[in-house]
Structures are given as C-alpha cells and as structure tokens.
Structure 1
Amino acid sequence: MIAGVVLAAGEGRRFCGDKRQALLPDGRTLLEAGLDAFIGQLGELALVLPDDDVFGMELCRRLGARPLACRLNRAGIGHSLACAAAWAMSLPQCRGMVLGLADMPRVQPHTVSQVAAALWHGRPVLACHQGRAGHPRGLPAACFPALLDLTGDVGARDALDWSQALRLELDDPGVLLDIDTVADLQRLD
C-alpha cells in the first residue's frame, strides 16, 4: 500500500495570514485544492496540521483524510515531516508515501497516482515538469527512519540522497506552482 500525506502545518509567513483559507478563482480554499488531487488516489491519506486547527480538522472530516496534529509546527517543516513519517511507519504494509504540499493547488490527480505507481520500484521519486523537479515527491518506506529525527527547517532534501531518485517527467505544470504570497494567488487564472 502507498499512503499519501499533505503538509499543511506551516505558518505561511510570506502570505501574511492563513493562506490555506484563501479562496481560489474556482471558489475552493487553497488547502482544499491542495488536497483534492490526493483524494481517491492512495490507500490512506493524512493531512499534517497545526495543533487545534479547526479549519483543517473540518476539511479532513469532509474529505475523508486523517488529521495529524503537529504540535511543533511553528518550529519548521522538519517536525511535520517527522510526524508524517511516524504515521506512515504505523500503517501495516506501507511501502511508501506520496508527499504533497498544501500550497500547490494545480497538481493533477493523475500526477499523484503516477508518483505512487513509481514508488513500487523502491526509490525516491521526483515529480518533474520540463526537467524541473517539483512536488509531490515519492518516499519509499526505507526512507522513513531518516525523516523521524528531522527538526526545524530541515526538509527531506537534507535527509535523503535525491541524486538517486527516479526523475518522473510529467505533463503537469502544477508540480512547479506553489502559492507563497498574495501576489502568487492573484496570478492564478
């Protein structure tokens, strides 16, 4: 089984507020759009959230994702990754996880399923578009222990040898589009 995890516990400092609740032109919130591509594509799905996140918990309930509260979320992405890895390791027969970011609203469902399928080879997977690596990323179960001790702003790039990853070229420009600022959101059509 391949699991999915979307990281949504960051503070979004450059956005000046909770960007996860920002509305997209189609009426969905940024968080809902970031999670939509994962719905129905994987064996299990979790969303890493800040502690006591009412908005995120309600979205999980509505969309059928498992909420993972990360009480140290303000200390950096490393804690969210460690939380995701611990959850994935607890799943029986989990062979890997597709790791997404909540601020990437244009990733397509077929991208998530292709990254998941590529994970069965046992190597990390980089979703790429026109040669540029983006997200989501595939992490085989053998990588989970390296993520457990992450803290602060140390991401998976610092814990894994991405030069050994399978570069999966996809026809999905959404793997490169993330929303960090209000201006990024305003450029969406």
Structure 2
Amino acid sequence: MKILIRGAGDLATGIAARLYRCGHEILMTEIKEPLTVRRTVAFSRAVYEGHARVEDMEAVLAGDLEEARQILTRGDIPVMVDERADVRETFCPDVLIDAIIAKKNTGTKITDAPFVIGAGPGFTAGKDCHCVIETKRGHTLGRLIWEGTAIPNTGVPGNVGGYTIERLLRAAEEGRIEPTVSIGSQVEKGQIVAYTGGVPVYAAMSGIVRGMLQEGAEVKKGMKIGDIDARCETAHCYTISDKALAIGGAALEAVELYGRIKGKYGLVILAAGRGERFGGDKLSSQIHGRPVYQYTLDLARSFPGVEKMIVTGNERIAQAALEAGVTLVENREPDRGISWSLKLGLKAMREKKPEVEGILFCVCDQPGLRAATIQKIWNRAAVKREKIICAGHEGRSGNPVLWPGKYFPELMELEGDVGGRAVMARHPDQVEIVESRDTELRDIDRKEDLEEIWERRWGI
C-alpha cells in the first residue's frame, strides 16, 4: 500500500522501517528545519543533508511528487518538505500516519485518507483518526487504541538506564545551537555540551550523547536539544530504538489489519422508513441543531475508502447524501417495508462492487452511533470473516450489522416489514457482538426519543 507519514523524526523513522521492510511504499513529509534530537536514526536528516541512511534504509530529499515517485521506483524512501502534508491530495495514500509526536493534533483529519493513524497524545480514535498508537513507555507502549485517546503527555521523559529528567539537554537561551560534543561522545556531569544563544548548556549526568540537534538550528529557551544515555552503548546511537520499533510494530499491525478490510466491504444506509410511530418525517427532525439523518451521513464521511450507498425516497436526504459522497439508491415503494429497502441496497451494492465480501447495514435514526464502533465492526469482520458482526450492549444485539456474503441469499428472500433480525435468529451461533455504548444503540421511534437521546448523548 501507499503510506504517507507526517514527520520523519526518530519515532516516525521506526514506523517507516517496519512498514518499508514489509514492502509498503513510504513517503514522508517534514518541516523546513527539522528539530530531531536523535537525528542519526532519523530520516528527517535528509532535509538538510540531501539523504539519510538509517541501518539498511536510505531516505532521499524530494523536491516534488514526481521526484518522490522516482525515488520510490529505486526502492528508497522520499522525504518532502511539506509541513501540512498537502501532497496527500495528489499522492492519494491508502494510509496516512501522523507521527509528528507534537503531543497535539496539528491538523490531521479522519478524512485525509481511507485509513488514518495518530501516534501519541492529541488524537482521538473515531474522531480525527481511525486508531491511535500509545507512545508512552511502559506496559501499554505500542498498543493500538480503537476508541479514545493515548495517555496524556506528563512532561516527564521515560526512564532510560535509570534516569528520566536528568538525561535531557535543554536550551539555556533562545538562539542558535552550537554543540561542543558529537553524538556518540562520552560526557561527564557538569560538562558543557553546547551553547544556545551563546549561553552554555551543562550535562546533568554522565553518559554517552545519544542525541543532539544539528549545529545552527534555531531553538527556544527550555527546548529539548539533546539526550544522554547512562547505558553508554555506542550502537544505541546509530540504531533504531526499542521504543521506535514498538511503535512501528503497532503501525504495521494496524496497516496489515486495514489491508484485510480494504475494498472488501460496503456500507448501506437505510433511510426510507415511513415514521408511522413517530407521526411524520423523523429523519428530518432536529437534534442538537442538525437533522437526524445528518449524523449518519457524517459517520459515512469518516470512511472515505469504503463504497457507501443510501436507500431513501426523501429528496432532502438524497441531496445531502450526494453532497457527502454517498451513492443514492431510490426507494419509491417504502410501503413494502424494511425488507424492500434492504434488498434494494444489497442489489445495488453487488451490482456496483461484485467482489464485495460483506455489507454493513446502518439505520439512519441512530444519532448516537460513533465512527469508533463502526471501525471495530470492520476490525472484527477482518478476522471473523464468516460471522454476522453487529453492535450491541451487554449481550443485547443492535444496529449496525455487517453481513458476510454467505447470507446475501437469505436476506434477498425477506418480505414485508421483516429485517435482518429474522435471519440472525436462524443463526444465533454465528452472531458476534461488538460492545458499544447503550446510547449508540438507541433509535428514534417517538418524538419523546429526540429529547431522551439528546440528553443521554450530550449530557444536556
């Protein structure tokens, strides 16, 4: 797959290494003046040196996408100066990984690529990316987070060789850095290791200099400019760290899982109900200032790599769906019940994507449903390919439901106001429930439900 990595520091390089060695195409972006402390093991060095070799890999500075493609053809890794990663618009990556490690999101959106990964604090899975990688040293390092966030930044560096805060070198003053030692040098506590803005920076411990900013880099007072390692292993200065490899392994796991999902499934939204119990057009009713149907369409936007369709006879919904990139399947006979909508969507999806292995059916009146839950359903389907996967809470199944192709014939035999639940009842041992919040499963049948869902979902 084509993978765009924002950032080319040491941790981003660990991610690139894992993916590159498994045969993926990697393009990395950086800022004009990278501030990577562990630059001997970072591809960001290519920005000011023209190329950077790390272990058995070569990164080369590319001036534009055409040059980047030539570098990819040679089997190397292109690095572009592109702070906002605008190249994604023309490179069209399958996966975008934000590995800037800025401890905040600097602009990455879940819609930037079919699959988006955020490394470290500042990202929320299901909101601005599809999954988050834990980057904090400790028991959870390298774990994939499919719902929620990574551990917040504590401001205290991880323990390496028995030291935390002491191992960091920080700028004594604003200005340009002038190192007095090199990466790999042995230093003693109290020794001057650099000048920043003309002011000396002293080592707070003895050890080996594992990282140091390049000479002439512009720094701010208090900024991290170097790193001392008490273990004094010279090889550690020139090889990718255990932390970077753990994070890279997590990225590889996520990418490989996405590879099992990519192109395999479709999404069909059912929005042709008559709203008899509600007493009118419930999908156009307002919740929190937006029509009910808009919440499901917004969820659909979170999965740009998935073929999406909506079954409806409502012109307003049809227009909003087209604006959201969702293909319209018109239902002119809503009186034929939910089975008719289901069959229309199933038939249209199979005609457009004959190779589809499964279809996720969503109803349009669940405004509390979250992208994280849909992603977890895709994930479960990737490893439980023959199972019926649905959202649920404490053993109670609900919508949405992902149907593997083996059940398509049974779904096409449904009649009247009978939905897929009848097929599930015939195969109870084939149903897998993905745990979700109770508020996500609540749909709107009555006007009272609008206020109840509003209060439960937003806590108003």
Among 292, 297, 310, the residue aligned to 1:35: 297
Report how far residue 179 of structure 1 moved: 0.8
Question: Equivalences for 1:1-189 in 2 at 5 Å?
Answer: 1-25=264-288, 27-41=289-303, 43-50=306-313, 53-90=314-351, 91-120=353-382, 121-160=385-424, 161-187=426-452, 188-189=454-455
Amino acid aligned to 1:149:
E
Deviations 1:109-151 (A, max 9, x none): 0111111222232211121122221111110111112222322
* Equivalent residues, number: 186
Q: Pick which of 90-99 and 163-172 moved more.
A: 163-172
Q: Residue 174 and residue 38 in structure 1: after superposition, are their counterparts in 2 closer, same or farther (change >3 A)? A: farther
The TM-score normalised by the length of structure 2 is 0.39
Q: Distance in 1 between matches of 2:307 and 2:348?
A: 10
CA contact (8 A) 1:97 1:116 kept: no
CA contact (8 A) 2:411 2:423 kept: yes
Aligned Cα root-mean-square deviation (Å): 1.7
Q: Residue 33 and residue 110 in structure 1: after superposition, are their counterparts in 2 closer, same or farther (change >3 A)? A: same
Instruction: Please state whether the residue corresponding to 1:13 is helix, strand or coil.
Output: coil
Q: Distance in 1 between matches of 2:396 and 2:319?
A: 34
Rg (Cα) greater in structure: 2
Q: Distance in 2 between matches of 1:145 and 1:100?
A: 19
Q: Distance in 2 between matches of 1:164 and 1:89?
A: 26
Deviations 1:70-103 (A, max 9, x none): 2221221010111121122221321101111111
Q: Distance in 1 between matches of 2:442 and 2:363?
A: 11
> Structure 1, unaligned stretches of length 5 or more?
none
> Structure 2, unaligned stretches of length 5 or more?
1-263, 456-460
Amino acid aligned to 1:128:
G
Report how far residue 158 of structure 1 moved: 1.9
Q: Distance in 2 between matches of 1:21 and 1:172?
A: 24
Amino acid aligned to 1:89:
R
Q: Residue 122 and residue 88 in structure 1: after superposition, are their counterparts in 2 closer, same or farther (change >3 A)? A: farther
Higher strand residue share:
2
Q: Residue 155 and residue 174 in structure 1: after superposition, are their counterparts in 2 closer, same or farther (change >3 A)? A: same
Amino acid aligned to 1:8:
A
Q: Residue 125 and residue 162 in structure 1: after superposition, are their counterparts in 2 closer, same or farther (change >3 A)? A: farther
Ranked by relative contact order (alpha carbons within 8 Å, sequence separation 6 or more), the top structure is 1
Q: Distance in 1 between matches of 2:402 and 2:363?
A: 12
Deviations 1:20-71 (A, max 9, x none): 110101x221011133223232611111102xx3112111111110111122
Q: Residue 164 and residue 85 in structure 1: after superposition, are their counterparts in 2 closer, same or farther (change >3 A)? A: farther
Amino acid aligned to 2:364:
A
Q: Distance in 2 between matches of 1:57 and 1:16?
A: 21
Amino acid aligned to 2:291:
T
Higher helix residue share:
1
